[in-house]
Chains A and B, each alone.
Chain A
Amino acid sequence: MGICDESGALMSGEEPILAMAVQRDRGNGLGGGFAGYGIYPEFPDHFCFHMMYHDLKAKEEAEAILDQHFLIEVAEPMPTRPVKGITDAPLLWRYFMTPHAHLLEEREVTAEDYVVSVVMLVNARVDGAFVASSGKNMGAFKGVGYPEEIGHYFRLEEYAGHTWVGHNRFPTNTPGWWGGAHPFTLLDWSIVHNGEISSYGINSRYLEQFGYTCSLGTDTEVAAYLFDLLLRRHKLPLELACKALAPALWTEIDRMDPEQAALMSSLRAVYGPGMLNGPFAIVLGFNGGMVALNDRIKLRPLVAARSGSKLMVASEESAIRTIMPEPDDVWMPKAGEPVIARVKGMDLPFHSQLHASPAEISCAVTAVETACEIEEVAV
């Protein structure tokens, strides 16, 4: 489920809870979660880490890493309330932080790459610690339970955001655990996902080439990293990133005009290992909107609706009717056709920055043409 008010008006966290509650029987109580955008207006430029710790030892170790890399402005327990059905919660903390400027300079990386590397480090190195979210002015609230229970547990009604995504989980491949619930996030990206990526094996190997470590073994993780790679690092427009992940069939490409055919064939050939194959309906949330995408032969349900400035997507129309009883328009998005919501006046995050990816840097000696491109980047 995803809902975005393109006017930028804020919605209480109660709305996504209601939209998820009506789809209760799509899950089994082993995972529910939400992500909200625009929820921390008092800290718009701080990276906010939502952390999960199994014990105090994990907290100490993870905090040591965070402290080493960031100037920590605020460190506090997540506000929660006791809710029937939510048990065995880990220690939940949040941190508002800025990267140490001297370390950024030393490593010659962008703040985002820096944050990604710390997230990977904490998740991979610290046993019992998990980064639930790591973006600016956003946060993920998730755990083991039905989504409406999780929403109440995190006191979501006390937050207000312009964009919300929500998820109800029926775990199959990985056991139901707090970190494994959706949304899965990285930086500002959050992903909720209905389905299963049958191409997980090659997607994760592809991402490893670019320095991503797929440590959770879930397909949602690869979707998040792929969006990060395509949008933030390769600077693809949102529409084309979606086309790389759910590309047109060759028979369709062959019928396009030469300019579009060249573009689409290149996307397929270059990003083939990243293509998400198998049944999925995913919603990607970001600071400034969201995009919903179905797999290329529409093996999972996805309904979209618009009511005024609000765009909403969900697995079931019932969820939409709960929030917007009489929408202006309701439709079934076509296979592989992205549904995009953009908050007025907000850019796609990270799009103005320029830097080369590790793979681009490592290929300097391979071909004349490639070498020339690298020189331009170096300048």
Chain B
Amino acid sequence: MQQTFVQPEFRVKIDYDKCHKCGRCVQQCGWGVYDFNERPIPHDEKCRACHRCVTYCPAHCITIEKNTLAFRDNDNWSTDARKAVWKQAETGGVLLTSMGNPRPYERIFDKLVLDACQVTNPSIDPLREPMELRTYLGRKSDSVAVEPNGTGGFKLAGSTGLERNVKLDTPIIFAPMSYGSVSLNVHRSLAMAAERCGILMNTGEGGLHEDLYPYQDNVIVQVASGRFGVSPEYLQRGAAIEIKIGQGAKPGIGGHLPGEKIDREVSSTRMIPQGSDAISPAPHHDIYSIEDLRQLIYALKEASGYKTVGVKIAAVHNVAAIASGIVRAGADYIYLDGFKGGTGAAPQVIRDHIGIPIEIALAAVDQRLRDEGIRNQTSIIAAGSIRSSADAAKAIALGADVVAIGTATLLALGCHLCQSCHTGKCSWGITTQKPELTRRIDPEWGAERLTNLIHAWSHELQEILGALGVNAVESLRGSRERLRSVGLDEQTCRILGVKPAGL
């Protein structure tokens, strides 16, 4: 075999003086890093730095280090760029990767700061005062019509659309991740946590396993270009339906679930043959224009008894115009996915170079919908690397009704961002279908961690609202006046509708 030029990225170091020689690391590693010959022998080239072995080593004797191999300095040809060429010269293939864009693009959220009240308008103490996060997802009317109710008061005269909205106890929901790309236990954890938190999980384009039927009121069912798992019953079961046009991590291309991850259960949930690659097309083959999308939206509404139907798109250059068309096509919400969003598998070139930041896309879409007077007719979900409650608060201030989190939920379940989901060998049992690995996630344990995360972020949002002197999240939503930029250029500030600090 030809010798590879690509040297291992990490060095696995074992302190053999401390090592119990128990073999736990061999058993824990999904990547096959360790052989065992009286003591564990690591093969560095297989290590993904996922820290599963480090976490579970009873002797705490394993460390993973970067391979500090020196390359001659070259600011133009980074080590990664050189390695990519070597890999492609060796294989002739598209470089596959997973999770979100790791490249050092500007992080706009980190250059935005929030306001707080001092003296003239008091801050509000969230520990002593009500602090409301409840949010309704979906289309609302532009005004409320009322009529006398016969007893001196008033009642609604006609619908405001609210009865078809989905009620959320907090404006944070789980992003779509399909069963197949993640394990059933991950889906169970997400569904249980969604129910406990009064929020939603999202099937992604992998169908709804029957074990999740009890949680159907907290599930968004997705209809994507492959139509995997879609049936009339599936549409009936969701709390809302989502048409997936694009994904932030890989705008413009379809999905790819390798056959190795398609076991019997995944096969029956997706309604595709076992072991065959599940390749969803880049476009929907029945959507080649906005009017086609309108027809699908209404077909799904008809099929589901007029449930909330949303459309998920990746953030791209003309996202504002597209979003406006989507609202006018009848979508009850728009899911905007920024280019730093995660994925279970994507060509690296697509993930790293296509799409625009969620902050920009969100600001442009929110403003466009307001300019057209149709903002009330839709809700906006923002996603694509919401890393903390601060990001969530900033996204809400820029105009989002709700934020969706994917990567953060996987981190809560043990993910260490090793970017190898597409291999199906996840040692943490998250992005794999191997029974010996998937059983590492106990859904009850997973649900508790996810519930903790949502509760923690919700409490932090309440703290932020209190500091801002408002006691309901709708008073932060779209309130860009409460944001300031520190170090963003003038043009970006203008697009975001945010003033620089000091003004």
Contacts and interface: CB of A to CB of B under 8 A. Distances in A.
Per DSSP, chain A at the interface is helix
A301 B161 CA distance: 37
B374 A363 contact: yes
Report the contact-size class of chain B (Cβ under 8 Å from the partner): 35 or more
A72 interface: no
A365 B294 CA distance: 11
A209 B368 CA distance: 10
Contact of A297 (B139, B144, B471): B471
B418 interface: no
Interface in B144-182: 144-146, 149, 153-156, 158-163, 165
A168 B130 CA distance: 31
Contacts of B163: 262
B255 to A, nearest CB: 30
Contact of B146 (A199, A208, A236): A236
A269 B165 contact: yes
A271 interface: yes
A263 B158 CA distance: 10
B468 interface: yes
A201 B375 CA distance: 16
B120 A172 contact: yes
B483 to A, nearest CB: 9
Given A250-B134, A259-B149, A269-B162, A202 B479 contact: yes
Contacts of B474: 202, 268, 272-273, 275
A362 B374 contact: yes
A269 B330 contact: no
B305 interface: no
Interface string B129-140: 110101010011
Nearest to A196: B121
Interface in A253-293: 259-260, 262-263, 265-273, 275, 277-279
A346 B269 CA distance: 67
Nearest to B155: A259
Given A198-B469, A272-B477, A365 B370 contact: no
A358 interface: yes
A121 B477 CA distance: 29
Interface residues of A, number: 59
A263 B142 contact: no
B132 A250 contact: yes
B368 to A, nearest CB: 12
A196 B120 contact: yes
B470 interface: yes
B479 A199 contact: yes
A249 B132 contact: yes
Interface in B350-372: 370, 372
Contact of B144 (A200, A234, A239, A358): A234
| 6 tightest A-B CB contacts, nearest first | A201-B481, A272-B474, A201-B479, A277-B475, A196-B121, A199-B475
Interface of B: 117, 119-122, 124, 129-130, 132, 134, 136, 139-146, 149, 153-156, 158-163, 165, 327-328, 330, 370, 372-377, 468-472, 474-482
14 contacts: A172-B119, A198-B470, A199-B475, A209-B375, A236-B144, A259-B149, A262-B163, A266-B162, A269-B136, A272-B472, A273-B474, A363-B373, A366-B330, A373-B158
Given A272-B477, A366-B330, 20 more contacts: A172-B119, A198-B121, A201-B482, A202-B476, A209-B370, A210-B373, A234-B143, A239-B154, A259-B156, A262-B163, A263-B144, A268-B474, A269-B160, A270-B143, A273-B474, A273-B478, A277-B469, A296-B471, A357-B143, A362-B373
